[in-house]
Amino acid sequence: MASSYEGGCRCGAVRYQLGGEPYKSGVCHCTECRRETGSAFLYYADWSTDSFTVSGDYKTYDGRSFCPVCGGTLFHLSDDHVEIALGSLDEAPVALVPLREGWIKRREPWLVAVVGAGQFREDTDL
Ligand SMILES: [Zn+2]
Ligand SMILES: [Zn+2]
């Protein structure tokens, strides 16, 4: 049976579905991700846009989309892929282990490195 994921914002105005498994997953400590989430890092995974469907009215600022009603962080949609903020998935915890960790030079000193994840001082070249 093929895997799939569903998620959305806090108020339910925006809902999305994803088919299959992501091809990339990680956490990012960069300034943009900190600002977007209002937290210390973003936990994300990438799927091709082919496997993504969304309903509801969302707003996008600088490539990053959110719900204009509740402010929930959702995704970054580009031509060929969608990067999902995994905290917006319905099921938690999910089995999507971060395989890469970006901008570790901005990682809070009280956080430890994700075991098994590739470590990058800034963005990856992968
Ligand atoms: Zn909402
Ligand atoms: Zn980032």
Distance 105 CA to ligand 2 centre (A): 12
Token digits of residue 14: 């925006």
- So where are the chain's domains? 4-97
pLDDT tens for the chain, 126 residues long, are 568 999 999 999 999 999 999 999 999 999 999 999 999 999 999 999 999 999 999 999 999 999 999 999 999 999 999 999 999 999 998 999 999 999 999 999 999 999 999 999 998 654
Look at residue 26 in the predicted model and tell me its pLDDT.
Answer: 97
Distance 60 CA to ligand 1 centre (A): 13
CB 22 within 8 A of CB 47: yes
3-state helix, strand, coil in the chain (%, to 5): 15, 40, 50
Tell whether pTM > 0.85. Answer: yes
CA distances from 37 to 30, 32, 74, 87, 101 (A): 11, 9, 10, 10, 16
| Burial (CB count <10 Å: 0-12, 13-18, 19+), residue 19 | middle
Distance 68 CA to ligand 1 centre (A): 7
CATH no. for 4-97: 2.170.150.70
Distance 73 CA to ligand 2 centre (A): 13
Residues surrounding ion ligand 2 at CB below 5 Å: 28, 30, 33
Reading phi first (left if > 0) and then psi (alpha if -120 to 50, else beta), residue 11 is in: alpha
Look at residue 2 in the predicted model and tell me its pLDDT.
Answer: 66
Look at residue 46 in the predicted model and tell me its pLDDT.
Answer: 98
> Nearest ligand, CA of residue 8?
1
Look at residue 113 in the predicted model and tell me its pLDDT.
Answer: 97
Rounded CA gap, 17 and 23, in Å?
A: 16
> Nearest ligand, CA of residue 71?
1
CB 84 within 8 A of CB 75: yes
Look at residue 124 in the predicted model and tell me its pLDDT.
Answer: 67
> Nearest ligand, CA of residue 103?
2
Residue whose tokens read 């809070």:
108
